[in-house]
Amino acid sequence: MTRVSSLVPPAPHELVARVQRAIGGRARVQVVATLAAVLALSAADTSAVGAAGPQLQRGLHIGKAGIGMLLAVTSLVGAAATIPAGMLVDRLPRVSLLRYAVVLWGVASALSGFATSFLFLLFTRVALGAVVAVAGPAVASLLGDFFPSSERSRIYSYVIAGELVGTGFGFIVCGNLAAVSWRAAFLALVPLVTVLVWALTRLPEPARGGGDRLRRGTRAIHDSGPPADGPLRKPPQALSLPQAVKYVLRVRSNVVLIVASALGYFFLAGVRGFGVEFVRHHYSLSQSAATSLLPLIGIGMLVGAILGGWLADRALSNGHRTARVTVAAVAVLIAVLLFVPAIATASIGVAIPLLMLCGVGLGGSNPPLDAARLDVMPPELWGRAEAVRTLLRSGAQAAAPLLFGLTASHLGGSSGLRDTFLLSLIPLGLGAILLLTVGRRTYPADAEGYRPP
DSSP 133: T
**What is the pLDDT at residue 228?**
40
- Closest to 55 in 3D by CA, of 115, 15, 124: 115
415 in a structural domain? yes
Tell me the C-alpha to C-alpha distance, in Å, between residue 342 and each of 266, 297, 334, 361: 19, 11, 12, 13
**What is the pLDDT at residue 299?**
84
At 219 the three-state DSSP class reads coil
Give CA–CA dist 339/420, Å, rounded: 13
- Closest to 377 in 3D by CA, of 249, 275, 267, 287: 249
Which amino acid does the sequence have at 398? A
Give CA–CA dist 84/94, Å, rounded: 14
232 in a structural domain? no
Give CA–CA dist 269/50, Å, rounded: 9
- Closest to 287 in 3D by CA, of 177, 420, 408, 400: 177
**What is the pLDDT at residue 210?**
62
Give CA–CA dist 75/399, Å, rounded: 9
**What is the pLDDT at residue 230?**
37
Classify the phi-psi angles of 377: left when phi > 0, otherwise alpha if psi is within -120 to 50, otherwise beta: beta
Give CA–CA dist 360/266, Å, rounded: 17
Sign of CA dihedral 216, 220, 224, 228: positive
**What is the pLDDT at residue 5?**
46
Give CA–CA dist 63/239, Å, rounded: 45
**What is the pLDDT at residue 274?**
79
**What is the pLDDT at residue 12?**
57
Cα–chain center distance at 264? 10
What's the CATH code of the domain at 289? 1.20.1250.20
125: Cβ contacts below 8 Å, ≥ 6 apart? 70, 73, 74, 77, 108, 112
301 in a structural domain? yes
**What is the pLDDT at residue 19?**
64
Cα–chain center distance at 65? 24
Cα–chain center distance at 127? 20
8 in a structural domain? no
58 in a structural domain? yes
Question: Which DSSP string corresponds to 25-85?
Answer: SHHHHHHHHHHHHHHHHHHHHHHHHHHTHHHHHHHHT--HHHHHHHHHHHHHHHHHHHHHH
User: Taking the CA of residue 415 as centre, how many other CA atoms within 13 Å lie in the half-sphere pointing to its CB?
Assistant: 7
72: Cβ contacts below 8 Å, ≥ 6 apart? 397, 398, 399, 401, 402
Structural domains counted in the chain: 1
**What is the pLDDT at residue 233?**
44
**What is the pLDDT at residue 16?**
61
Give CA–CA dist 372/254, Å, rounded: 8
49 in a structural domain? yes
Write down how long the chain is. 453
Tell me the C-alpha to C-alpha distance, in Å, between residue 119 and each of 112, 116, 183, 204: 11, 8, 15, 39
Which amino acid does the sequence have at 120? F
Q: Which domain holds residue 260?
A: 22-224+237-450
6 in a structural domain? no
**What is the pLDDT at residue 327?**
95
Residue 227 φ then ψ, to 5°: -70, 150
Give CA–CA dist 360/123, Å, rounded: 36
**What is the pLDDT at residue 226?**
41
**What is the pLDDT at residue 330?**
95
Per-residue pLDDT in tens (0 to 9) along the chain, 453 residues: 444 444 455 665 565 666 667 777 778 888 999 999 888 887 787 777 766 777 777 767 777 677 777 777 776 777 778 888 888 888 888 999 999 888 888 888 888 878 777 778 777 777 777 777 888 889 999 998 888 888 889 999 999 888 878 877 777 777 778 777 778 777 888 888 889 999 999 888 888 876 567 777 666 665 444 444 333 344 434 557 787 888 888 888 999 999 999 898 888 888 777 777 777 777 777 767 776 676 677 788 889 999 999 999 999 988 888 999 999 999 999 999 998 888 887 778 888 888 889 889 988 999 999 999 999 988 888 888 888 888 888 778 778 877 887 887 777 765 777 788 888 888 899 999 999 999 999 998 888 764 443
160 in a structural domain? yes
Give CA–CA dist 441/257, Å, rounded: 12
pTM: 0.78
- Closest to 265 in 3D by CA, of 419, 101, 136: 136
**What is the pLDDT at residue 2?**
46
